[in-house]
Amino acid sequence: MDKWTELRTAYKLAKLGTLSATAVEIGVHRSTVMRHIDVLESSLNTKLFQRNDRGYIPTEAGLELMRLGEVTDDHFSQLEARLINNEQTLSGTITLTCVNEMTRLLMPAINEYQVQHPAMSVDIIGDLRNFNLEYGEADLAIRAGPKPTTLDNVVMPLLDVKVTLCADERYIKRYGMPNSDNLTQHRFVVLRERVEHLPWNEWVFENIPQQNIVIKSSSQQVVHDAIQQGGGIGFTAIESVDSFPNLHKIPMPQQWSVPVWVLVHRDMFNLPKISKFIEILKSQSQWDFSLR
């Protein structure tokens, strides 16, 4: 019998005794309470209440239903308490997917997340592949480039990564200081993939002789390491250059940046483990995290 709503109404009526009090308790009209009782009595083929001037008095069958209602209500109360406790003391794993180079920017938020929720572990998948959030391959995705348009995902701006051309001191000592007038004479390190949202990488292919592009890789981390080791000059995030004193910025007339986005499947957005992490991301003062 699928009569959960009617059973709940009957339990409240047996407990409170009047149509008016029951209607107020469950937020319906008095006539709705009467209809629920009629439907339930008809379905059970038994009388649940005696109606008199004092209100509704449960019969033996009504008292039996009331006892069942008390047990069920108690179980729901215990469940609610457990769920609230689970939200307050998060445990388990949250999975993030992003390109490897983004992990350094995310680590302050990850560290704070685990300070606030020490029972949570963080699984970081560093991969260029776009993981499917709908099928649970990851809880959150960090993606760079044009704003993603997947309808099932909530998309939030994280930050704009500014990039700069740079050279290591060892490269400068060996080949001289690059400048905007002699770049075609220098050795470059680039990403192999020529994608639309990396215009600075495309600039190298379009403006530097092919023989001067000496190292290619599908990983920005490899590109950064090659630049840092003096293998060539190339583009990397300004924040990375500022973190390594042996790297020197090379002034360019063009200024480039790439937007970075956080994606969460709309059905997962309000899960405590995800919402708490997003709250911490929002608290990072240097990030504009308003919904767009």
The verdict on 179 and 246 lying in the same domain is: yes
Nearest CA among 17, 20, 24, 21 for reference residue 55: 17
- Are 273 and 139 contained in the same domain? yes
pLDDT at 2: 65
Q: Are residues 153 and 272 in the same domain?
A: yes
Average pLDDT over residues 241-263: 89
Mean pLDDT of all residues in the chain? 84
Does residue 278 form part of some domain? yes
Per-residue tokens: 162: 């500014």
CA distance 60 to 9: 17
Same domain, 43 and 81: yes
Looking at the structure, do residues 109 and 222 belong to the same domain, yes or no? no
Whether residue 230 sits in one domain with residue 184: yes
* C-alpha span between 161 and 73 (Å, rounded): 53
Residue 263 is given by DSSP the state E
pLDDT category at 88 given cuts 50, 70, 90 is low
Q: Which tens digits make up the pLDDT trace of 139-189?
A: 888 888 888 887 788 888 888 888 999 999 999 999 999 998 999 999 999
136: phi > 0 → left, psi -120 to 50 → alpha, else beta; which? left
Of 88, 106, 129, the residue at which a domain comes to its end is 88
Q: What is the mean pLDDT of residues 120-133?
A: 71
pLDDT of residue 91: 82
Beta pairing, strands 92-98 & 140-144: parallel
- Pick from 92-106, 128-142, 217-231 the range whose average pLDDT is largest: 217-231
Q: What is the CATH number of the domain that holds 181?
A: 3.40.190.10
The answer as to whether 289 is a domain residue is: no
Of residues 169 and 15, more confidence is placed in: 169
Instruction: Verify that 152 and 276 share a domain, yes or no.
Output: yes
Nearest to 34 by CA among 52, 53, 13, 54: 13
Q: Is 253 in the same domain as 265?
A: no
Single out the residue of 28, 7, 271, 288 nearest to residue 139, CA to CA. Answer: 271
**For residue 72, is it within any domain?**
yes
Supply the DSSP string of 82-110, one letter for each residue: HHHHHHHS--EEEEEEE-GGGHHHHHHHH
**In a domain? residue 292:** no
Task: Supply the range of the domain harboring residue 57.
Answer: 4-88
144 and 66: one domain? no
Please give the average per-residue pLDDT across 220-233, as a whole number: 93
- Residue 289 is predicted with a pLDDT of 44
What is the end-to-end Cα distance of the chain in Å, rounded? 46
Q: What Å distances lie between residue 186 and 66, 196, 244, CA to CA?
A: 85, 24, 21
Structure-token pair, residue 249 = 């910025």
Task: Name the one residue in this structure whose structure tokens are 């959960």.
Answer: 4
In a domain, 290, yes or no: no
In this structure, the answer to whether residues 53 and 132 fall within a common structural domain is: no
Say how many domains are in the chain.
3
Q: What percent of the chain has pLDDT over 90?
A: 30
Kindly report which listed range (15-24, 145-154, 158-167, 269-278) carries the lowest average pLDDT score. 145-154
pLDDT in tens, 44-60: 889 999 888 778 888 98
